[in-house]
Amino acid sequence: MSETLITPYRDGPLLVRGPFRLVDQDGNEIDTGRETVALCRCGKSRLRPFCDGTHNLIRFKAPSGAEQGRAA
Protein backbone atom coordinates (compact mmCIF):
# COMPACT_ATOMS: atom_id res chain seq x y z
CA MET A 1 0.00 0.00 0.00
CA SER A 2 1.58 3.28 -1.09
CA GLU A 3 -0.89 5.77 0.29
CA THR A 4 -2.29 6.39 3.73
CA LEU A 5 -6.00 5.98 4.22
CA ILE A 6 -7.71 7.49 7.27
CA THR A 7 -11.29 6.45 7.90
CA PRO A 8 -13.48 7.87 10.66
CA TYR A 9 -15.58 4.93 11.82
CA ARG A 10 -19.15 5.72 12.73
CA ASP A 11 -19.38 6.12 16.51
CA GLY A 12 -15.78 4.91 16.78
CA PRO A 13 -12.11 5.55 16.13
CA LEU A 14 -10.10 6.87 13.23
CA LEU A 15 -8.66 3.91 11.39
CA VAL A 16 -5.28 4.66 9.81
CA ARG A 17 -4.07 2.26 7.13
CA GLY A 18 -0.90 2.39 5.10
CA PRO A 19 2.50 3.95 5.58
CA PHE A 20 2.53 6.59 8.32
CA ARG A 21 4.53 7.82 11.27
CA LEU A 22 2.85 8.70 14.54
CA VAL A 23 4.62 11.34 16.62
CA ASP A 24 3.67 13.26 19.75
CA GLN A 25 3.50 17.03 19.94
CA ASP A 26 7.24 17.20 20.61
CA GLY A 27 8.06 15.09 17.59
CA ASN A 28 8.82 11.92 19.55
CA GLU A 29 7.98 8.76 17.67
CA ILE A 30 5.08 6.70 19.02
CA ASP A 31 5.72 3.08 18.15
CA THR A 32 2.61 1.44 16.74
CA GLY A 33 4.25 -1.79 15.62
CA ARG A 34 1.82 -2.20 12.76
CA GLU A 35 0.54 -0.68 9.53
CA THR A 36 -3.06 -0.29 10.67
CA VAL A 37 -4.02 1.47 13.88
CA ALA A 38 -7.23 2.76 15.45
CA LEU A 39 -6.84 6.22 16.98
CA CYS A 40 -9.27 7.25 19.69
CA ARG A 41 -11.55 10.14 18.86
CA CYS A 42 -13.94 9.83 21.79
CA GLY A 43 -11.23 10.97 24.23
CA LYS A 44 -11.96 8.25 26.82
CA SER A 45 -9.51 5.49 25.87
CA ARG A 46 -7.04 4.39 28.56
CA LEU A 47 -4.52 3.73 25.80
CA ARG A 48 -4.56 7.10 24.06
CA PRO A 49 -3.83 7.89 21.38
CA PHE A 50 -5.07 4.41 20.55
CA CYS A 51 -8.64 3.18 20.74
CA ASP A 52 -9.33 0.56 23.40
CA GLY A 53 -13.03 0.07 22.67
CA THR A 54 -14.26 2.39 25.44
CA HIS A 55 -16.26 4.34 22.85
CA ASN A 56 -18.76 1.46 22.94
CA LEU A 57 -19.20 1.70 26.72
CA ILE A 58 -19.81 5.45 26.67
CA ARG A 59 -21.99 5.25 23.57
CA PHE A 60 -19.86 7.74 21.68
CA LYS A 61 -21.71 9.17 18.69
CA ALA A 62 -20.08 10.63 15.61
CA PRO A 63 -20.73 10.29 11.90
CA SER A 64 -18.36 8.54 9.53
CA GLY A 65 -18.53 11.42 7.08
CA ALA A 66 -17.81 15.09 7.62
CA GLU A 67 -20.17 17.04 9.84
CA GLN A 68 -21.97 19.90 8.17
CA GLY A 69 -20.85 23.46 8.77
CA ARG A 70 -17.24 22.67 9.60
CA ALA A 71 -14.39 23.18 7.18
CA ALA A 72 -10.75 22.36 7.84
Q: Which of 8, 22, 32, 44 binds ligand FES (CB under 6 A)?
A: 44
How far apart are alpha carbons 16 and 3 in whole angstroms? Answer: 11
DSSP 20-50: ---B-TTS-B----SSEEEE-SSS--TBTTB
The residue (of 37 and 40) whose beta carbon lies closer to ligand FES is: 40
Residues in the chain: 72
The amino acid at residue 16 is V
Kindly tell me which of 27 and 65 has the beta carbon lying closer to ligand FES: 65
Which among 22-30, 38-46, 63-71 is the span making contact with ligand FES, rule CB under 6 A? 38-46
The residues binding ligand FES (CB under 6 A) are: 12-13, 40-42, 44-45, 51-55
